Amino acid sequence: MKILVVDDSKAMRMIVLRTLRQAGYGDHTLVEAGNGVEALNALRAGPYDLVLSDWNMPEMNGIELLRNVRKESIPCKFGFVTSEGTPEMRQTALDAGALFLIAKPFTVDGFKETLSSVIG
């Protein structure tokens, strides 16, 4: 399985990658992108099975990325890993086609619980 981790913070990408490994997903191919534009280009060149994206990013934010992915019918599962987890944002994410929203701060167990239902 190929997973794309999208965040403008290098520190947070490192933490998400580390958490994925600790959650047992270290055997998958993990790829990084620094914003929505980079991620969309990577997805066009794909294929990727899962995208884990931040919401607030320069260039193209996470929800714009998701809407572009769906508009271009790029096949992949999509979830947010973001510092904002209000009910309104969760609903916006789900309405746009996201499968989940993991709010920071997160735990390894939280990742496992959410991702196990999405990628097994």
Partner 1 sequence: MTPLSVWIDALTESTREVAVTSLGFDDISLEELLAGLPEAHTGVYLPLHTPSGPVQIALMADIPGCRSLAGALLGMDETEELGDADVADAVGEVLNIVAGSLKTRIQEHERPVQLGLPMYVVGHVFPQDDIEGMVAKVKVGAIPAELMVLRQRIPPPEAL
3-class DSSP assignment, residue 3 = strand
Q: Which of 29, 41, 86, 116 binds partner 1 (CB under 8 A)?
A: 86
Q: Using the rule CB under 8 A, give the single segment among 37-45, 62-70, 76-84, 90-98 that binds partner 1.
A: 76-84
Q: Is 31 exposed, middle or buried (0-12, 13-18, 19+ CB in 10 A)?
A: middle
Q: Is 13 exposed, middle or buried (0-12, 13-18, 19+ CB in 10 A)?
A: buried
Cα–Cα distance measured from residue 51 to residue 76, given in angstroms and rounded to the nearest whole number: 7
Q: Which of 83, 91, 116, 117 binds partner 1 (CB under 8 A)?
A: 83
Instruction: Based on the shown chain and the rule CB under 8 A, indicate whether residue 91 belongs to the binding site for partner 1.
Output: no
Q: Which of 2, 74, 85, 96 binds partner 1 (CB under 8 A)?
A: 85
Cα–Cα distance measured from residue 31 to residue 37, given in angstroms and rounded to the nearest whole number: 15
Q: Interaction with partner 1 in 18-57: which residues (CB under 8 A)?
A: 18, 56-57
Q: Which of 8, 32, 49, 64 binds partner 1 (CB under 8 A)?
A: 8
Taking the complex as a whole, the smallest distance from the CB of residue 66 to partner 1 amounts, in Å, to 18
3-class DSSP assignment, residue 57 = coil
Residues forming the site for partner 1 (CB under 8 A):
8-12, 14-15, 18, 56-58, 82-86, 88, 103-105, 107
